[in-house]
Structure 1
Amino acid sequence: MGTPPSTRDVALPFHGSRGGTGPLTWGQQHMYQILNDLYPESSGMNVVVDVPLREGLRQSDVADALRTLVERHEALRTIYRSTSDGVRQEVIRSGTIVLSVLDAPAVTDELRRDVRERLATGPFELDREPALRSCLLTSGGEPRHLTVVFCHLACDAIAVDVVRSELAAVSAASHGRPPPERVHQPLEQAAFEESPAGVRTAERSLRYAQSILRAMPQTMLPREPVSYEEPRFRYLHVRSEALALAANALAARHRLSSRAAVIYAGLTTVAGYANGLTRSFLQLIAAGRLREETHHAVGSYSQEAFALVDLADADMDEVIRRSARTILCADRFGTFPVPERAELVRAVERERGVRVSHPGGSLNYVNRARGGVTTDRPTAAALAAAALRTTWQWIDGDNSAGCAYLLHALDNGFAFDLRFLVDTTVIPVEEAAAWLRSVERLLCRAAVTELPLAELSPWVDVVPPSRGSRWRLVDSSWIDLHAVADVVRSAGAVQRVDVFVDGTELVAYLAADAPVDLVRLRDSCQAALAGRRTAMVPHRFVVCADAPAVSDPSAWRTRRTVASGSGHSGVPTGSAVSRAGR
């Protein structure tokens, strides 16, 4: 019978160069909101760093490396406190972290998985402890493997790479600490964001977001929710060599430095095609690191940037070009104060009479490819053979999400590892798989020949919806006229409501039992849009003394009009943009 593993906790005191408090950075605002709204009791936003260790290291070498990491990067010794001025970050100058040391006869893959799962399970108490847990696996007292888990609030994807690199350096030198380099800290980032330069950055980003909000469909999924079997949210994991070959060929054709625009173009095209939309909205996880000092900083800088691509009059090559421009804009304008953008969203919603709280999906592209884009040009036969090796696996997801679908695309160069999170109330399991099959097929086809979007049907596995006369494309959005009438009925005491399209306007004719306050009616309709994907507030209300015998706009026009107008009032949409400069 083998010796059972033994575990002990080692207290590692740390002493940073400074402490301090300050407001949250924009990236911290974004991640804190996600954690608070979606994952308050979940491990869904914990990230794992595994570091294999070479032979000959001492436990003290590993402990020193971990201590140095925490002392150097203030994000790793920060807690978050709620105050009368909102949540603030507090950097702890001196304190203690705990390194668990588990000694086993052999450090197996199973043991590493068990330790990883144990450390990653459960949320961090962000107001009490630094967002870090660690375990050193040893065999016979010799260090073999280090696992560290961080909360995403402390480390975004780029920060994880920085942390992994610095911890891996312990295997290159077994004695001493690396000299401390000057690194950009979250408190310094918060100070920049409050500076005049930061205010100008916010204003530019909000103006760009406003232009997207005014042009985008209110949802990429204009459909009613369907029944589902638990769990509601599912992950489809796909590994595709064919997608990597095709994306590389297309990126080389367009002289792109990465394959991000190609993957974006594939997903946004399929999403638009599947829902009959010629403007396709797909949020991008933007790094938020344009300033040089942020390139290797540890912290949470990434945010969800609005992005929109016009699919009209294009082939796949043109969509890729448009997607590349869209990604550049998303990177440039993807940093912003979260409360101000939320206010801007609400203002444009009121302006347009729509609800864009859950417009569609997001793409998170992570580049792990070494050597970048190559000039390889695969043949159709090579792509077909590679597609036969694509693997598909469904796994359960966290039962919450901030969007209807999220594609995490890990580019390993030789293959793409895709993790597609879907809300099965709006994208059933079978359709979700068809989306990713379609992305792979259409990009493989586009890699070897021109592919106009008007000729997509043989290369995609989704069928565009067939909509009857009650559906109209209004303000870039598919609208169900019956659903709009339901919204108006729910908003006030009316005898009858009919909704028609007049040119570019959505007009509601109604006969009411009492005088109608159009401003109050519009506000009530706006509130009634919550949870609806197929309705919007009419652009104009026409209140008549009584209703005609038939539901026809010409018949309504014969009735006596007692009130007419849009019902618009309130704060102009530019206020959120200008407020960023105060």
Structure 2
Amino acid sequence: MSETRSTVLRYRSQVPGAEGPLTLGQDNVLRCLRNEQPSRERNEPSSLNKQATWTPFGDADQARCLDALRTLAERHAALRTVFPEGGGDQLPTFQRQLQEGEFTVELIALGPDEDAAARADAFCWDQRCQPFDLTADFPLRLALLTRDDRPVLLAVVVSHAQLDGMATGLLAQEWTVLVSGGELPTATGPTPIEVAEQERSAGGRRRGAAALRHWERILTEEPSAVFADDRVRSTDNLLHTLGIRTPAGAAALERAVKRTSSSKSAVLTACYAALAAHRAARSTVVMAALSANRHRAVLAEHIGTLAQDALLVLDTDCPDLDTLIGRTQAQALSGYWHATFDTEQLWKILDDSSLRRGARFVRDVVLNDVSGTVPEELAALRPDPAVDPDLTWYPTEPLPTRLMMNVWRTGGCLEISLHAHPDVLDREETEHFARALLRLIDLAGQRNVTLGPDGELAALSQLPVGRREKGRWQQVGSNWVDLDALADRLRTVLAVKDVEVTWENDELTALVREGCPLTPTEAHTAVVDSLSWRDTLMAPQRYVLPNGTGTGRE
């Protein structure tokens, strides 16, 4: 059985304290932590706080491991950054870079037969569920695990407000060098305050404006929900999670990259999109890509948080997978370039487009490729699975999406996780999706794969296809709408009994014959506000009410 005590480490940097504006990434995460975003996007602390385990190499002892942590705190401003309260319920409006402070490290002495990885996971999960005090807390919660007084693992829980996945990976590399007795070069990445100043420069403002235009076009024209069919009814956000580990998959991915002259990310994303489109019975997949905005060389070594989404539109209506991989590379370049923006302005665009379209955008399909955040030499320490592929189920967890793929590692052993809502894929179907993904990657390494109605995807995937048979389905713009389900929603929201929903002359109309004292504008606003997690619905374009007729969108 393990024994736990703690030690307090003090640090003092040679760089004096400073204050400055928030970066766009910091502002985005702070809003998520305050749950100010639309209800569909709300997150629990466990989904925003991140975790990692770092392995000491060589003959590192406890003192060297702890000294290395102190060195990191003194070296990187992000680890010395706090966010003073804005007053009342207001968000913080600036960041404060401290010169000195302290942090705590738990020291866990493992029992003779105790599993170090399991003990580290238990520590991390417990700490992930606890929010950080952003006004005062050090942004890392740390536990050094030892056996017979020798360091075995460092368990790390990360505050997303100060650090993203790539920054955490860079810290892991530096800590590993230090505990191995090496020296670090002078840090060259910009500090968070310097990044904020860059973002507020003339060039930074132009990039931000272009990003907002990119998002606005997609929000206006493309499907607001990918999955809309008879099965998609639930309004909860509990997803089951399947982990996949496969050395053969990593080798197949290498072959696919070589044959297609593309990147690993493009191959994985294209295969993922093709299968998602097949399940959704639609050709266009709007995908949110996380960890997507370190495309500029000046930010490559930044220790901080750049946590903003890229938005990709992938048209899978093409003859073969090679064509889709090429399209994916182009779309990724555009999406990643437009992934730095003012979050408050973006949410205004989201709200305005929701009212204009009558549909709320949802992150139905999400990709999170963090394979570059863990050094391969550290990842390779984990033994290969006993079976290939190894599929392991993990507990359900709340996530604001319908389908998500995390890419953890691509070299040596492909490690990914799939998170699926039961309305989209049940557990058996999620395993089919995982195996189909691996088969598609394997085939991509051998030859081109045909897509389309007569292509190979249906036969190799064994996945269900979205059916629209149990209601009155109508395509409104780029969205699919169940008119019967919409009529039920209107009865509830408007508190009326007699509602008829029609689609005539390319217009979605709600006819309310009695009751409802609201104006068309008030009715429309109420309906749109009620659409979170209801991906098969859109608010009517025209309202015929007892007290007036109108579009509700004036």
| Category of TM-score, reference length = shorter chain | 0.7 to 0.9
Q: Distance in 2 between matches of 1:115 and 1:457?
A: 42
Residues 44-193 of structure 1 aligned to structure 2 (within 5 Å):
45-55=49-59, 57=60, 59-84=62-87, 86-87=91-92, 88-102=94-108, 110-111=115-116, 113-115=118-120, 117-118=122-123, 121-122=126-127, 123=130, 124-137=132-145, 145-173=153-181, 178=184, 180-193=186-199
The residue aligned with 2:340 is 335
Is contact 1:156–1:300 with CA below 8 Å preserved after alignment? yes
The alignment status of 1:361 with 2:365, answered yes or no, reads yes
Quote the offset at 1:535 in angstroms.
Answer: 1.4
Report which stretch shifted further, 427-436 or 509-518: 509-518
The residue aligned with 2:222 is 216
Identity of aligned residues (%): 24
Quote the offset at 1:513 in angstroms.
Answer: 5.7
Report which stretch shifted further, 205-214 or 430-439: 430-439
Structure 2 residue identity aligned to 1:219? A
Residues 344-359 of structure 1 aligned to structure 2 (within 5 Å):
344-356=349-361, 358-359=362-363
- Tell me the matched-pair count: 527
In structure 2, list runs of 5 or more residues that go unmatched: 36-41, 377-384
The residue aligned with 1:409 is 407
Is contact 1:12–1:63 with CA below 8 Å preserved after alignment? no
Q: Distance in 2 between matches of 1:397 and 1:289?
A: 30
Residue 453 and residue 370 in structure 1: after superposition, are their counterparts in 2 closer, same or farther (change >3 A)? Answer: farther
Quote the offset at 1:509 in angstroms.
Answer: 4.2
Structure 2 residue identity aligned to 1:567? G
The residue aligned with 1:548 is none
In structure 1, list runs of 5 or more residues that go unmatched: 372-385, 546-561, 570-582
Is contact 2:56–2:180 with CA below 8 Å preserved after alignment? no
Q: Deviation digits for residues 190-220 of structure 1, max 9, x if unmatched?
A: 2222222222111111100111112222212
The residue aligned with 2:309 is 304
The residue aligned with 1:395 is 394
* SS of residue in 1 equivalent to 2:467: coil
Is contact 2:48–2:160 with CA below 8 Å preserved after alignment? no
Is contact 1:316–1:453 with CA below 8 Å preserved after alignment? no
Quote the offset at 1:138 in angstroms.
Answer: 5.1
* SS of residue in 1 equivalent to 2:539: coil
Q: Distance in 1 between matches of 2:124 and 2:375?
A: 30
Structure 1 residue identity aligned to 2:331? T
Is contact 2:322–2:448 with CA below 8 Å preserved after alignment? no
Q: Distance in 1 between matches of 2:16 and 2:24?
A: 22
Q: Distance in 2 between matches of 1:349 and 1:370?
A: 42
Q: Distance in 1 between matches of 2:24 and 2:245?
A: 33
Is contact 2:116–2:152 with CA below 8 Å preserved after alignment? no
Structure 2 residue identity aligned to 1:50? W
Is contact 2:84–2:96 with CA below 8 Å preserved after alignment? yes
The residue aligned with 2:499 is 497
Normalising by the residue count of structure 1, what TM-score does the alignment of the two structures yield? 0.81
Quote the offset at 1:433 in angstroms.
Answer: 2.3
Quote the offset at 1:458 in angstroms.
Answer: 0.9
The alignment status of 1:462 with 2:463, answered yes or no, reads yes
Quote the offset at 1:97 in angstroms.
Answer: 2.3
Q: Distance in 2 between matches of 1:350 and 1:438?
A: 38
Residue 159 and residue 6 in structure 1: after superposition, are their counterparts in 2 closer, same or farther (change >3 A)? Answer: closer
Residues 207-356 of structure 1 aligned to structure 2 (within 5 Å):
207-223=213-229, 232-256=238-262, 258-356=263-361
Structure 1 residue identity aligned to 2:178? V
Residue 277 and residue 119 in structure 1: after superposition, are their counterparts in 2 closer, same or farther (change >3 A)? Answer: closer
Quote the offset at 1:333 in angstroms.
Answer: 0.5
Q: Distance in 2 between matches of 1:34 and 1:269?
A: 30
The residue aligned with 1:378 is none
Structure 2 residue identity aligned to 1:295? A
* SS of residue in 2 equivalent to 1:181: coil
Is contact 1:217–1:359 with CA below 8 Å preserved after alignment? no
Q: Distance in 2 between matches of 1:60 and 1:295?
A: 31
Q: Distance in 2 between matches of 1:231 and 1:332?
A: 30
